Amino acid sequence: MKPSQLFQTALGPDDLHSFFHEVRQTSERLGAPLSDADATVQSMPDASPAKWHLAHTTWFFEAMVLHPFVPGYEPFDEEFSFLFNSYYETLGARQPRPRRGMITRPALSQILDYRKHVDFGLDALLRTSPDQNIAELVELGCHHEQQHQELLLTDILHLFAQNPLHPAYRDPGPVEVETADLPPLAFTDFDGGIVEIGHGSVGFAYDSEGPRHRALVEPFRLANRLVTNGEWADFIADGGYRKSLLWLSEGWAKVLAEGWSQPLYWEERDGQNWTMTLKGFQPIDPIAPVTHISYFEADAFATWSGKRLPTEFEWEAAAQEIAIQGNFLDTHRLRPKPASPHVGGLQQIFGDVWEWTRSAFSPYPRFHAVEGAIGEYNGKFMSGQFVLRGGSCVTPPGHIRASYRNFFPGHARWQFSGLRLAEDG
């Protein structure tokens, strides 16, 4: 089965060629502030070294495009496939994920040379106006690399948060805490009914975003903005992390086992809450959206509030009507931004933080993973994870859609993940 049957693509040859270069250059710009040591250390099994992200995205183009479609292609190094294959069983053995930080060699400079080698091969291929099948794989490789750009930043944040000196990834120094008023929490009514869910026919989408299909949604209400740090502080002050009845069983077990008492990077200093950010250690902004919370924390907060998390179908039905604008990677803020008191209706749907939904990441009706390596991209992860929607402050602009389904296990906290409240209509 061709990827075109499940991965929707959009670009003509010239646009694809420039998209490819733009994506590749963006990754190198994101890696530029890092030393070889910064880029090599792995802070936990879930996070990968920056060097690995830069190499793995390159391996993806090599394994999916250059090897199968360029006769006589000479790999940069035969052994790199073992080092930089992530999880593709059909493409051979690989370094175990928790041991990616052991790859002190090749050095970062060699990885950058590897990138040049593969860029050269792709550049030559793209000049020949390759057929649709190849073009689709290149486009998929670009979107794959954009996903890893976000992961590179969230993984660097986790790494730097382990350092007692709280180093900044970039722009060290105080970030002004917003003083603007916060719009009061309000809820927008939606009628529900039969809604169309999933990606239509225009533009790129991952296979998991389709097929587009009908879903039945009961009347519901969605909050106008994201939950803030100040509201989260109220939850903590009210004993939110100590009241077992607010929590799902699996979440309460995590509270006890991990000692959760606040969002991942919060730390109290002189009676004030501070947090680790990509711009170093900063006071929290009480009116900015809370972030780095797990699904279980989001769910407990919603229960404490007398509300609930939205389903992914409710979220998408609302988001389909909203322009894709927001605080993404290109604002260089690298932190979620407070909602505006001057805007009515739903805000912060796109950008700022990924919004946990109560929906399991599972296949849509009539979904079938394609055969072969590409079929391993999403389909085999459809168990034990929850869907997050809307993108974050480190999502590359242009990478997000109303139909986009991100997914993480319920205990994951190191992504830019937050929540929007919902209730029954």
Which residues would be at the binding site for Fe ion (CB under 5 A)? 86
Element (H, E) at 133: helix 132-161
Query: Which residue number, 158 or 307, has a Cβ lying nearer to Fe ion?
Result: 158
**Would you say 58 or 347 has its CB closer to Fe ion?**
58
State in angstroms the smallest separation of the CB of 328 from Fe ion: 20
Mapped onto helix, strand or coil, the DSSP state of residue 261 is: coil
**Minimum distance, C-beta of residue 86 to Fe ion, in the bound complex (Å):** 5
Gap between the Cα atoms of 387 and 1, Å rounded = 27
- CA–CA distance, 16 with 143 (Å, rounded to integer): 11
Nearer residue to Fe ion within complex by CB, 60 or 356: 60
Taking CB positions, which residue lies at the least distance from Fe ion? 86
Q: What is the CA radius of gyration of the chain?
A: 22
Tokens of residue 273, six digits = 């809450």
- Residue located via tokens 């924390």: 297
Nearer to Fe ion (CB atom), residue 144 or residue 199: 144
51 vs 38, 57, 58, 93, CA distance in Å?
A: 9, 10, 11, 20
> Minimum distance between the CB of residue 30 and Fe ion, rounded to whole angstroms?
15
User: Judged by CB, which is closer to Fe ion: 86, or 275?
Assistant: 86
d(C-alpha 52, C-alpha 264), whole Å = 24
Q: Give CA angle at 366 (361, 372), nearest 5°.
A: 80
CB of 148 to Fe ion, least distance (A): 6
Report the nearest approach of Fe ion to the CB of residue 57 (Å).
7
Judged by beta carbon, residue 64 or residue 287, the one nearer Fe ion is: 64
Strands (E) located in 207-350: 213-217, 220-223, 266-269, 272-277, 280-283
- What residue type is 403 in one-letter code? S
How far apart are CB 140 and Fe ion at their closest, in Å? 11
CB of 345 to Fe ion, least distance (A): 36
Six-digit token string for 243 = 């009241």
Nearer Cβ to Fe ion, position 143 or 420?
143
Measuring CA to CA, which residue among 361, 353, 354, 351 is closest to residue 409?
361
Crossing angle for the helix pair 295-304 and 249-258, to the nearest 10 degrees: 110
